[in-house]
């Protein structure tokens, strides 16, 4: 769907994209990066709306630098910022956008009605958009990106400004764009957790550079996390601390979470079997009681907050600062708190 090679964009004093080489296939792809990471810039370059400083990009096999108009015929774009004329009803606006994309009048009206219904706008579509809530405006922006039946849509921060329920609805809609209509999606967000829920593939950029590009499973399934809770004993007044320290000594990757929980990384395959045995034997050797031991799928944010040197992020054992955990995970924490 999308291939970039050494793609860079420099503004005076700012390198917005820095030699980005990435390829994106069909399905739903999440493009994650902190504010200013270069997400919007990448989308504009892909659509041929801004020239690259160097490097190339192709969308659906077409060159962004020379075939921008042909790309935009087959690609829908939902911009980040509010761009809706306040005194125009949604239905009129979306028909206009459909006509701009080359649909004949009758087809434009028909597609507009279908698309607005699909995004969940009914009677409101006849009212001027100035009176719409943020959620309704985001839906109109999505509808105009879909109205000409594109093969691919590029969505820039589609959940921006939405409350948690509105975000859930928008994420479900995005997923359905692919499952119901077979349209591939590239959607940006600075929230890893959001994209984890809808994406088949995630691309992470930071400071205009590629950090990772992997199928969602690659982020979360290479390791299983085991949440273990043990009792305290007379010998070990904090059973969790004793277990944590003993497992670290045994060479197991482990961290503490929320008081009594000890989170143990279990690698796949035979090493994993040995990992389970080590946890069981360590608990027995310490003479602790086992309260629970359960498997957890790791969330992307956790993968990013794990220190790159493999050391544990144990809140009870503050260590030297971790080497750059990419900003998106931290940003997500901030957003969660804000919520
Ligand atoms: N037209 C422009 N002129 C100068 N600098 C720009 C321009 N557009 C973007 N930048 C800069 O390029 C960098 C990347 O911006 P971009 O908008 O692509 O980031 P982003 O990841 O989409 O972030 P956000 O979610 O905040 O929009 C930022 O430092 C931004 O200030």
Ligand 1 atom at minimal distance to the Cα of residue 33: 21
**CA 284 – CA 255 distance, rounded (Å):** 19
CB of 30 within 6 A of ligand 1: the answer is: no
Ligand 1 atom at minimal distance to the Cα of residue 41: 18
pLDDT in tens, 29-47: 999 887 888 999 999 999 9
Measured in angstroms, how far is the CA atom of residue 144 from the centroid of ligand 1?
A: 24
Q: Tell me, what DSSP letter sits at residue 24? A: E
Please choose from 38, 43, 78, 79 the residue to mutate so as to test ligand 1's pocket, defined by most ligand atoms within 8 A of CB: 38
Structural domains for the chain = 2-216 (3.40.50.300), 220-338 (3.30.70)
36: which residues sit within 8 A by CB, 6+ positions away? none
Distance of CA 200 to the CA centre of its chain: 10
Measured in angstroms, how far is the CA atom of residue 59 from the centroid of ligand 1?
A: 21
pLDDT at 117 over 90: yes
CB of 267 within 6 A of ligand 1: the answer is: no
Ligand 1 atom at minimal distance to the Cα of residue 42: 18
Measured in angstroms, how far is the CA atom of residue 33 from the centroid of ligand 1?
A: 12
Q: Which residue has the higher pLDDT, 301 or 88?
A: 88
| Average of per-residue pLDDT across 174-181 | 91
CB of 143 within 6 A of ligand 1: the answer is: no
Measured in angstroms, how far is the CA atom of residue 206 from the centroid of ligand 1?
A: 12
Token pair recorded at residue 189:
């967000």
Q: Tell me, what DSSP letter sits at residue 151? A: S
Q: Best-predicted range by mean pLDDT among 145-154, 199-208, 258-267?
A: 145-154
CB of 41 within 6 A of ligand 1: the answer is: yes
Measured in degrees and rounded to the nearest 5, phi and psi for residue 18 equal -125, 95
pLDDT in tens, 44-85: 999 999 999 999 999 999 999 999 999 998 999 999 988 899
Measured in degrees and rounded to the nearest 5, phi and psi for residue 194 equal -65, -50
Measured in angstroms, how far is the CA atom of residue 39 from the centroid of ligand 1?
A: 8
Confidence of residue 297 (pLDDT cuts 50, 70, 90): low
What is the bridge-based pairing of β-strands 28-32 and 14-24?
unpaired
Measured in degrees and rounded to the nearest 5, phi and psi for residue 14 equal -135, 130
Measured in angstroms, how far is the CA atom of residue 155 from the centroid of ligand 1?
A: 16
């Amino acid at each position: 769907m999308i291939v970039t090679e050494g793609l860079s964009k420099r503004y005076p004093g700012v390198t917005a994209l820095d030699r980005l080489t990435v390829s994106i296939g069909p399905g739903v792809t999440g493009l994650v990066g902190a504010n200013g990471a270069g997400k919007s810039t990448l989308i504009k370059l892909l659509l041929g709306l801004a020239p690259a400083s160097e490097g190339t990009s192709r969308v659906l096999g077409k060159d962004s630098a020379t075939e921008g108009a042909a790309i935009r015929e087959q690609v829908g774009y939902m911009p980040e910022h509010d761009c809706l004329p306040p005194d125009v009803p949604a239905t009129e606006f979306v028909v206009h956008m459909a006509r701009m994309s080359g649909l004949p009048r009758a087809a434009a009206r028909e597609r507009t009605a279908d698309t607005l219904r699909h995004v969940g706008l009914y009677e409101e579509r006849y009212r001027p958009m100035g009176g719409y809530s943020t959620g309704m405006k985001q839906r109109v922006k999505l509808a105009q990106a879909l109205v000409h039946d594109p093969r691919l849509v590029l969505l820039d921060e589609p959940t921006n400004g939405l409350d948690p329920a509105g975000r859930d609805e928008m994420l479900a809609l995005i997923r359905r764009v692919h499952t119901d209509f077979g349209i591939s999606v590239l959607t940006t967000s600075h929230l890893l957790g959001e994209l984890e829920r809808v994406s088949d593939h995630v691309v992470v950029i930071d400071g205009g550079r590629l950090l990772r590009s992997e199928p969602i499973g690659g982020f979360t399934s290479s390791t299983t996390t085991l949440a273990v809770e043990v009792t305290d004993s007379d010998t070990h007044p904090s059973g969790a601390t004793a277990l944590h320290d003993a497992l670290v000594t045994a060479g197991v990757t482990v961290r503490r979470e929320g008081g009594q929980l000890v989170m143990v990384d279990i690698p796949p395959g035979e090493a994993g079997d040995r990992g389970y045995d080590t946890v069981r034997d360590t608990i027995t050797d310490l003479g602790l009681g086992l309260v629970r031991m359960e498997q957890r799928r790791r969330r992307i944010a956790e993968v990013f907050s794990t220190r790159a040197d493999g050391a544990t992020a144990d809140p009870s054992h503050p260590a030297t600062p971790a080497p750059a955990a990419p900003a998106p995970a931290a940003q997500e924490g901030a957003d969660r708190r804000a919520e």
